Amino acid sequence: MLVDGKQMRPIWLDGDGRTVKVIDQRRLPHELVILDLTTVEQVIEAIVEMVVRGAPLIGVTGAYGVLIALTRAGNEADFAEACRCIAAARPTAVNLAWAVARVSAAVQGAPSPGERLAAARREAEAIDAEEVTRCRLIGEHGAGLITTISQAKKGAPVNILTHCNAGWLACVAWGTATAPIYVAHEQGIDLHVWVDETRPLNQGARLTAWELGKAGIPHTVITDNAGGHLMQHGRVDLVIVGTDRTTRTGDVANKIGTYLKALAARDNGIPFYVALPASTFDWERRDGLREIPIEERSADEVRFVQGLAGHEVTRVLVPPAASPTANPAFDVTPARLVTGLITERGVCAATEEAILRLYPEKK
Ligand code: MRU
């Protein structure tokens, strides 16, 4: 994606094929820092600490992580253990385990170490490229929804609310929730994005706002609690969010707070769409509330807030030091609250029947 006239992506494989370069997303928007990942431990730490985050991106990182594991592992058992640990680094986004399994499988049967390496690299690069294509297609399908609203409003700005960061930083390119926004903007549709700050780590305020600003897309950062009020006053036309795991029946796990936005949207008759590539469907699960593992993250993410003080990025404590805190990182929005899913194969209802019409091979 173009940032200040320079093409950028959140991850790439260096020429030597043994170093993964990533943007350190913990430091944005105030500092743009690139890190090198050359060991399995570094890959795992980057995923756990959210140097890289967002479902498709952690999948792609896991895929390149398997390649790194292969360059490092002494024997088959070490390699299998490294893959297991990478896949377990974050539990909610299904993309991670899916991508690790896919690259590990591609390596099986390759007759020599050199061919194993080549197979891993081929597969990881294929996943990376596929995610870019899928996201662009999500954008093309989803832009139609924005155009329809724009026409109904006779060209007045379409107000879209989004939660967390489901943009190119989370996905390699285009993003999922932001892809229809980028495509509609390219097509000249007048639009404006309400960006939920997304406590505790502020992926909306830090990352989505940065992305949209760099793309010249009008946006306003709001507190997580402002969405319902804006909806009640007709200031939101459409909600589009991403997802970390969506069941075959259309239940959606996404960043904590998504469910509350879906409830408010339903109460106000506002369409609530979820954008996702095929890699984010969990075809094995049917009941999101009971079956999707919800990551519980460090209490410190709730206790401290990070920001720029003068010229330095710093962290400050918010609640009383002795107060206990809890940090469930995702919630599940039941399919009944989802107006539709925007996928690379088109837009469908959040029902098993409609999903399987788009993905008949999963019947
Ligand atoms: O904890 P994060 O920042 O990895 O959570 C990310 C989200 O919840 C995104 O909405 C989701 O991964 C979709 S990314 C296209």
All structural domains of the chain? 2-130 (1.20.120.420), 144-362 (3.40.50.10470)
pLDDT at 266 over 90: yes
Distance 167 CA to ligand 1 centre (A): 9
Expressed in angstroms and rounded, the spacing between residue 176 Cα and the centre of ligand 1 is 10
Q: What is the mean pLDDT of the chain?
A: 97
- What is residue 74's predicted lDDT score, i.e. its pLDDT? 78
From CA 67, how far away is CA 99, in angstroms rounded? 12
Task: Give me the catalytic one of 196, 237, 244, 331.
Answer: 244
Token digits of residue 166: 């489901």
Distance 351 CA to ligand 1 centre (A): 22
Q: Name which of 129, 124, 121 is nearest 62 in CA terms.
A: 124
| Mean local confidence (pLDDT), 321-335 | 98
Is the pTM higher than 0.95?
A: yes
**Average confidence (pLDDT) over 265-274:** 98
Structure tokens at 143: 């832009």
pLDDT for res 211? 98
What tokens does 88 get? Answer: 């377990």
pLDDT at 363 over 80: yes
Substitution candidate for ligand 1 out of 162, 224, 243 with most atoms within 8 A of CB? 243
Sign of dihedral through CA atoms 204, 209, 210, 216?
positive
**Mean pLDDT of the 23-43 span:** 97
For residues 85 and 63, give the distance between their C-alpha atoms in angstroms, rounded to a whole number: 13
Question: Catalytic: 244?
Answer: yes
Predicted confidence at residue 114, as pLDDT, reads: 94
Is 344's pLDDT higher than 80? Answer: yes
Pocket of ligand 1 (CB under 6 A): 53-56, 93, 164, 166, 170-171, 175-176, 203, 242-244, 254-255, 329
Look at residues 98, 71, 96 and name the one whose alpha carbon lies nearest to residue 86.
Answer: 96
Q: CA 82, CA 76: separation in Å to the nearest integer?
A: 10
pLDDT at 27: 96
How far apart are alpha carbons 276 and 291 in whole angstroms? 19
pLDDT more than 70, % of the chain: 100
Res. 73: pLDDT tops 80? no
Q: What is the pLDDT of residue 148?
A: 98
Q: Which atom of ligand 1 is nearest to the CA of 164?
A: 10
Whole-number Å distance between alpha carbons of 243 and 176: 9
pLDDT of residue 317: 98
Strands (E), 15-64: 20-23, 34-37
Q: Which atom of ligand 1 is nearest to the CA of 241?
A: 10
Question: If you average pLDDT over residues 147-154, what whole number do you get?
Answer: 98
Q: Average pLDDT, stretch 260-276?
A: 98
Q: What is the whole-number distance in angstroms between the Cα of residue 54 and the centre of ligand 1?
A: 4
Instruction: Identify whether the C-beta of residue 165 lies closer than 8 Å to the C-beta of residue 21.
Output: no
User: Terminal CA-to-CA distance of the chain, rounded, Å?
Assistant: 36
- What is the structure's pLDDT at 185? 98
Q: Can you give the pLDDT at residue 16?
A: 87
